[in-house]
Amino acid sequence: MLTHPSTVLTLRRHHLFSQLPENVFEDVCHLATLKHLSCHSTLMHQGDPAKRFFLLVSGQIKLYRLTDEGQENLVEVIQPGQTFAEALLFSQARRYPVSATALKDSTLVSIEGSHYRAALEDQPKVCLAILASMSVHLHLRLRDIDMLTQVSAGRRVTSFLLQERDPLTGQIVLQVSKRLVASKLGMQPETFSRILRRLLESGLIAMERRTISLLVDEQQLAAFQ
């Protein structure tokens, strides 16, 4: 049962819970649990029975899939305030399609899926909010597929930089290691580092630790091969 006021408030503010009637929300909190993961601990494995979904309160969680050869392919990095695995509430899937591991010490709210699904039966506004959330995730996955089908590794990297840049500052702050970014882009870490070095030497970007600044406009960066 959730009792910590700040955690309950974080849950209440999320769009999956903000429009629930108070009595329904209290029922959800009563059955929800708080889970703590140390860095590198695994929350769930690909193929585990999918019974719960999660909201990240603090820390960082990576979602990834393993190929038949044992290679790890990054799907998404979850940041505080985000939920994950909620799409399974309305699918026929009975098992998690991804594994989830903590990149930092993390705290999560774990919600029992069948109970939450039952609570939605008379909540059309919440159902619409969930559909909107799923639509956003689908758009992001399609964007990732488009990126991975770029012919060259260089084009994949420049597409990633353009998609992740802050529109006000033109900067990209890498929230995860270069190794994980490389995995998301379908390349080896050495390849990713080499392309960044070429961009740096060409005067197209500047780098300071995990902050990348774009020094040219979109057309010039997109022309990089």
Q: What is the mean pLDDT of residues 118-127?
A: 82
Boundary of a domain, candidates 148, 167, 193: 148
Q: What is the mean pLDDT of residues 28-40?
A: 94
Boundary of a domain, candidates 99, 130, 148: 148
Q: What is the pLDDT of residue 146?
A: 73
Query: Do 55 and 164 belong to one domain?
Result: no
Those residues whose C-beta lies under 8 Å from the C-beta of residue 218, and which sit 6 or more positions away, are 162
Q: What is the pLDDT of residues 135-187, one digit of tens each?
A: 777 777 777 777 676 668 998 999 889 888 998 888 999 988 999 999 888 88
Query: Do 46 and 144 belong to one domain?
Result: yes
Query: Do 171 and 197 belong to one domain?
Result: yes
Query: Do 62 and 119 belong to one domain?
Result: yes
> Any idea what the CATH number is for the domain that residue 205 is in?
1.10.10.10
The token pair that represents 153 in the structure block: 């590794």
Do the beta carbons of residue 204 and residue 220 sit within 8 Å?
yes
Query: Do 111 and 172 belong to one domain?
Result: no
Mutual orientation of helices 5-13 and 22-31 as an angle, nearest 10°? 120
Query: Do 102 and 22 belong to one domain?
Result: yes
The total number of structural domains that make up the chain: 2
Query: Do 157 and 139 belong to one domain?
Result: no
pLDDT greater than 80 at residue 134: no
Boundary of a domain, candidates 117, 148, 179: 148
Query: Do 18 and 93 belong to one domain?
Result: yes
Query: SS3 string of 65-112?
Result: EECCCCCEEEEEEECCCCEECHHHHHCCCCECCCEEEECCCEEEEEEE
> Any idea what the CATH number is for the domain that residue 65 is in?
2.60.120.10
pTM of the model: 0.79
Question: Among residues 17, 14, 108, 101, which one has the least CA distance to residue 56?
Answer: 108
Query: Do 104 and 177 belong to one domain?
Result: no
Range of the domain at 83: 5-148
Query: Do 28 and 43 belong to one domain?
Result: yes
Q: What is the pLDDT of residues 70-96, one digit of tens each?
A: 788 888 899 999 999 987 877 777 899
Query: Do 198 and 129 belong to one domain?
Result: no
Query: Do 104 and 157 belong to one domain?
Result: no
d(CA 151, CA 164): 20
